[in-house]
């Protein structure tokens, strides 16, 4: 196997790294506070411990509390070799802007990658694996029966994504580049064994939960496509194409691991971008429809740990995967519905999944046979997966806040943020509405950069949009396919979003005449749904106002509800 990357490939990687840095974006408002809290989380326990982070590479015992699940020092899931370490490498590389000192543990963790890679190119904390043996899963063994083979495949897939981002961020580190290539070559080597149509019964026997073949094999596509794009090596892309074709046999709902399924949908979209083969996009859009129309996506824009209509808890990883899938679909297709879903997910379910310390995890869910109707107060931070993916969600969001070209600057979300690059600064500042009927105002201003046509999306929660200049004079807008743009280049504009309280059923259908008697309903104002600490709410007289509903105990999803039982589907008779 190749153990170094060629000089030409290194040149390519260096160029891609420079192009990928983009503007430095800082989020503001409640989303910015959540993002800052998540970033700070990685400076504390257990993320400040290099042994804790690398234990799924080395198998080392971190402390006497490794096997005590309820202890803060517990080091779980070492058999998911590369999972924690790969996720950590991925987000730190993406946040580093080329500086390995972004976190005190990162350099040591990258050294461990170079030292712990096995002869076949894979990583396994507990020793070598004979990949030709039958899958070592025991259906009656609980976590103890999950074996080594499938968990290692899952962890290696996350580690491959992390190594690709490390190569992108640190193109001069040839040891990491070589490790990424060797891991990609490992997947090519085992492809015939895990894409074998004669072993379908073996694959199905492990189920589709966290150690199932369906969950653990197919996410390799994501890292392979990214490695191919970064290195210029088509063999990695061809491996991902072969895996995607075999995935057709298993790609169905319901499934027991939403995180794994959505990682695969992200991968299919990456394959579409790499190949322009329309079938990949069609498969993802079909799955999107099935999830939304089938009740798997709840009115707050989130999904449960299992891709089922009813389950006891959610999972931050899956919610972030749904967010990043919608962001990518919006970018690739230009369809506003995907950006609208990303906005809903962000402001409602994603933020409500954040734990007290800033990480993400599993929150108790209140469900009936039609799906989720409220959030429980208990949130278990998942330091082994969801907190990393939470940071990945904020990274993906920052990458989708601005798009430029041909003298036009597109800003698809009404959010507080500042973006700085060599050309200057773009600032987006939200303010409350000033008059009756205004939901909010968004001022977009440019400093140090030339005037541009500024373009925004008309969100579902806005009835109309207007614009004024800094002096308050009206500015004309042009409208096309749900997008509004200034009619001429400007450096400062304030968009006014008009609207009010709106009602929906449990499947995102707007109810213009208000809630229907005897039927469940959801209420919203702006990008946030309205929630209460009690499920008992009669259908309000329609139309209504935010002030009238707040007097009844409803509020646009506040931070304080992250630690309380709260409800957002009403009219259920509870």
Instruction: Identify whether residues 493 and 531 lie together within a single domain.
Output: no
Do the beta carbons of residue 426 and residue 41 sit within 8 Å?
no
Name the β-bridge partners of 375: 365, 566
When mean pLDDT is compared across 105-109, 343-347, 414-418, 534-538, the lowest value belongs to 534-538
207 in a structural domain:
yes
Tokens of 404: 């430029």
187 in a structural domain:
yes
Do the beta carbons of residue 69 and residue 145 sit within 8 Å?
no
Residue 62 sits in which domain range?
1-25+45-250
354 in a structural domain:
no
Instruction: Identify whether residues 491 and 544 lie together within a single domain.
Output: no
Among 191, 217, 250, identify where a domain stops: 250
CATH number of the domain within which 459 lies: 2.60.420
Tokens of 557: 């999803």
Q: If we measure between CA atoms, which residue out of 536, 566, 520 comes closest to residue 351?
A: 566
User: Strand pairing of 522-525 and 483-486?
Assistant: unpaired
Instruction: Identify whether residues 492 and 468 lie together within a single domain.
Output: yes
Among 498, 516, 541, identify where a domain stops: 498
Instruction: Identify whether residues 563 and 419 lie together within a single domain.
Output: no
270 in a structural domain:
no
Instruction: Identify whether residues 151 and 163 lie together within a single domain.
Output: yes
pLDDT in tens, 522-552: 999 999 999 999 988 889 999 999 999 999 9
pLDDT in tens, 298-315: 999 999 999 999 999 999
Q: Which helix (H) or strand (E) holds 291?
A: helix 278-293
Q: Which helix (H) or strand (E) holds 456?
A: strand 453-457
What's the total number of domains in the chain?
Answer: 3
Name the β-bridge partners of 466: 496
Predicted structure pTM score: 0.95
Among 498, 521, 550, identify where a domain stops: 498
One DSSP character per residue, 196-233 reads -GGGHHHHHHT-SSTTSHHHHTTTHHHHHHHHHHHH--
Do the beta carbons of residue 325 and residue 275 sit within 8 Å?
no
204 in a structural domain:
yes
pLDDT in tens, 460-519: 999 999 999 999 999 999 999 999 999 999 999 999 999 999 999 999 999 999 999 899
User: What is the rounded CA–CA span in Å between residue 425 and residue 566?
Assistant: 39
201 in a structural domain:
yes
Instruction: Identify whether residues 483 and 509 lie together within a single domain.
Output: no
Instruction: Identify whether residues 486 and 432 lie together within a single domain.
Output: yes
Instruction: Identify whether residues 485 and 507 lie together within a single domain.
Output: no
Instruction: Identify whether residues 458 and 546 lie together within a single domain.
Output: no
396 in a structural domain:
no
pLDDT in tens, 115-156: 999 999 999 999 999 999 999 988 766 777 788 999 999 999
Instruction: Identify whether residues 426 and 543 lie together within a single domain.
Output: no
Residue linked to tokens 């278990």: 380
Instruction: Identify whether residues 134 and 203 lie together within a single domain.
Output: yes
pLDDT for position 119: 96
Do the beta carbons of residue 305 and residue 314 sit within 8 Å?
yes
Instruction: Identify whether residues 423 and 554 lie together within a single domain.
Output: no
276 in a structural domain:
no
The phi, psi pair for 41, rounded to 5°, reads -55, -30
Tokens of 544: 């209504």
Tokens of 241: 């194409």
Residue 544 has, within 13 A of its CA and on its CB side, a CA count of: 22
């Amino acid at each position: 196997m190749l153990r170094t990357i060629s000089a030409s490939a290194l040149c390519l990687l260096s160029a891609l790294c420079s192009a990928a840095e983009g503007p430095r974006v800082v989020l503001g408002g409640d989303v910015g506070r959540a993002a800052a809290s998540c970033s700070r989380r990685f400076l504390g326990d257990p993320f400040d411990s290099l042994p804790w982070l690398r234990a799924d590479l080395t198998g080392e015992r971190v402390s006497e509390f490794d096997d005590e699940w309820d202890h803060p020092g517990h080091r779980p899931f070492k058999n998911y070799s590369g999972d924690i370490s790969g996720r950590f490498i991925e987000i730190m590389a993406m946040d580093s802007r080329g500086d390995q000192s972004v976190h005190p543990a990162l350099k040591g963790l990258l050294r461990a990658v170079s030292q712990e890679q096995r002869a076949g190119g894979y990583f396994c904390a507990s020793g070598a694996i004979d990949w030709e043996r039958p899958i070592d899963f025991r259906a009656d063994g609980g976590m103890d029966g999950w074996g080594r083979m499938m968990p290692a495949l899952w962890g290696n897939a996350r580690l491959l994504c992390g190594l690709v981002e490390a190569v992108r961020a640190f193109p001069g580190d040839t040891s990491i580049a070589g490790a990424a290539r060797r891991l990609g070559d490992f997947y090519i080597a085992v492809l015939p064994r895990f894409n074998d149509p004669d072993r379908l019964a073996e694959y199905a026997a492990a189920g589709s939960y966290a150690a199932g073949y369906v969950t653990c094999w197919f996410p390799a596509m994501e890292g392979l496509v990214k490695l191919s794009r970064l290195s210029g090596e088509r063999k990695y892309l061809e491996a991902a194409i072969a895996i995607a074709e075999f995935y057709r046999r298993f790609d169905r709902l319901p499934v027991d691991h939403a995180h794994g399924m959505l990682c695969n949908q992200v991968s299919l979209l990456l394959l579409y971008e790499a190949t322009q083969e329309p079938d990949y996009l069609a498969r993802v859009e079909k799955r999107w429809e099935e999830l939304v129309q089938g009740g798997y996506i709840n009115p707050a824009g989130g999904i449960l740990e299992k891709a089922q209509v009813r389950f006891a808890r959610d999972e931050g990883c899956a919610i972030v995967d749904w967010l990043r899938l919608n962001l990518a679909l919006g970018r690739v297709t230009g369809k506003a519905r995907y950006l609208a879903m990303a906005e809903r997910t962000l402001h409602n379910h994603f933020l409500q999944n954040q734990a007290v310390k800033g990480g993400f995890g599993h929150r108790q869910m209140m469900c009936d046979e039609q799906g989720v109707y409220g959030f429980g107060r208990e949130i278990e931070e998942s330091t082994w997966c969801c907190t990393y993916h939470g940071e990945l969600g904020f990274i993906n969001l920052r990458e989708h806040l601005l798009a430029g070209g041909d003298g036009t600057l597109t800003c698809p979300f009404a959010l507080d943020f500042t973006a700085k690059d060599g050309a200057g600064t773009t600032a987006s500042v939200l303010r409350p509405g000033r008059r009756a009927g205004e939901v909010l105002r968004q001022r977009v201003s440019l400093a140090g950069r030339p005037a541009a046509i500024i373009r925004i999306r008309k969100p579902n929660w806005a009835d109309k949009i207007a614009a004024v200049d800094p002096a308050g004079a009206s500015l004309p807008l042009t409208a096309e396919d749900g997008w509004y743009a200034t009619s001429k280049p400007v450096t400062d504009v304030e968009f006014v979003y008009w609207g009010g309280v709106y009602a929906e059923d449990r499947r995102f259908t707007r109810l213009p005449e208000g809630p229907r008697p005897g039927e469940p309903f959801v209420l919203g104002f702006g990008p946030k749904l309205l929630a209460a600490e009690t499920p008992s709410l009669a259908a309000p007289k329609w139309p209504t106002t935010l002030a009238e509903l707040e007097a009844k105990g409803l509020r646009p999803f506040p931070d304080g509800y992250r630690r309380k039982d709260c409800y957002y589907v009403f009219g259920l008779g509870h």
